[in-house]
Amino acid sequence: MYLAATSSLPLRLYQWTEQLFTDLGLPLWLLAVLVATVKAALIIGFILINVIFLIWLERKLGGHIQNRLGPVYTGPFGLLQTVADALKVLVKEDIIPAAADRWVFMAAPLVAFVPSVMIWLVVPFAPGVQARDLNIGTLYVAAMTGCTVPALLMAGWSSGNKWSLLGAFRAGAQLVSYEVPLILATLAVVMLAGSLSLNDIIRAQQESTWFIFLQPLGFVVYLISAIAELNRTPFDLPEAESELVAGFNTEYSGFRFAIFFLTEYANLLGSSAIAATLFLGGWSGPFLPPFVWFLLKTYLFVFLAMWIRFTLPRLRVDQLMNLSWKFLLPVALINVLGTGVFVAL
């Protein structure tokens, strides 16, 4: 019933527009461009609204975990705090240091932002509500998360500042190291589902059970690696404020800093959505509408990430590398091996 309700309205709208285009004699590629633009606008709108909420949630959760209140004054429960902060940061001067590599410096935030949005191309919000169901969905997601590294290196290198450069180096090393266990954890899920498409993975979970129960080890590996990929607190070495001022975004201000900040939270939301899809069954669930299930599961992962952030202290660089190469990678490999045996049986 819900499937019909969520998928028929856009479909009817599309058919109506198609009819309009043929009646007016407009070319159909224009329709394709229009549809793509509408989808992109909807996704970016979804990301922006959620990021505003996420930043508020992070501050509120952090506050209460530390027995503080968090934001309280702007709007009900301080909900408009992020809006105020965003307005503040957008009217600030966009400073480009004299020593910076100007064009690379200016382009870096945008290069970082694009992959964080691109991930959402394959995220299934609800049955039939997905920008495009790629049959290589998970591979595409892995490729897109990997695209963050050049952006951070660009930002660090072009700033002409030693802290930025060190932060970017760390980011590069960290992202490359944790990409491996992340992909291996995803691989085990793909082996269980027998498909790289995120929709097929959800359907496979509807048939059996949530993959978190079949892949507890895989989920833990995914969780740790994803948090490392997101540069969040136990692994926030690239922007460790006590060591590197702010890492690769030291020299950024105003609008460009806001883009970096937005990217960080968009990536958190994206990873959470992917984790919800891979391990928690995505939009599938009883009673509630699929989109609500999708949001609930996504926010469960977001909560986990924030909870971990306000519990664990930052790792050292060598500990970070050890955890990835000497612990997570063998565990992920064993997990893949075990899953292979399980699937073969």
Partner 1 sequence: MGLWQQVADGVTGVVKGHLVTFRNLFRRPVTYRYPEVRPNLPVGTRGMPVLLSDDEGNLLCTACEVCARECPVQVIHITAHRDENKKKVLDEFDIDMSRCMFCGICAEVCAFGAIAMSDIYELADFEQENLIYNKERLAELGRRRKGPIINYGIKTEGNPYQSPAEEAEGSAGTADKPAQSAPATPTAGGTSR
Give the residue with the Cβ less far from partner 1, 53 or 255. 53
Q: How far is the CB of 171 from partner 1 (least distance, A)?
A: 24
The position carrying tokens 């690239």 is: 238
Distance CA 301, CA 38 (A): 28
Question: By C-alpha distance, which of 195, 235, 193 is closest to 215?
Answer: 193
What is the closest distance, in whole angstroms, from the C-beta atom of residue 7 to partner 1 in the complex? 38
Side-chain-side CA neighbours of residue 238 (13 Å):
25
Handedness of CA 233, 235, 241, 246 (dihedral sign): negative
Phi, psi values for residue 327, rounded to 5°: -120, -60
Among residues 5, 13, 36, 69, the one that binds partner 1 under rule CB under 8 A:
69
Tokens of 80: 């408009």
Cα–Cα distance for residue pair 327/210, rounded to 1 Å: 25
Residue 325 sits in the site that holds partner 1 (CB under 8 A): no
Question: Contacts with partner 1 in 253-282 (CB under 8 A)?
Answer: none
Please identify which residue in 31, 35, 42, 65 interacts with partner 1, judged by CB under 8 A.
Answer: 65
Does residue number 242 form part of the binding site for partner 1 (CB under 8 A)? no
Q: With contacts defined by CB under 8 A, how many residues of the chain interact with partner 1? A: 15
Draw the binding track, 281-310, toward partner 1 (x: CB under 8 A; -: no contact).
--------------------------xx-x
Binding status of residue 64 toward partner 1 by CB under 8 A? yes
Name residues whose C-beta falls within 8 Å of residue 139's C-beta, 6 or more positions apart in sequence: 196
Q: Cβ contacts of residue 127 below 8 Å, gap of 6+? A: 2, 3, 6, 7, 283, 290
- Cβ 322 to partner 1, closest distance in Å? 11
Q: How far is the CB of 313 from partner 1 (least distance, A)?
A: 9
79 binds partner 1 (CB under 8 A): no
Residues forming the site for partner 1 (CB under 8 A): 61, 63-69, 72, 307-308, 310-312, 327
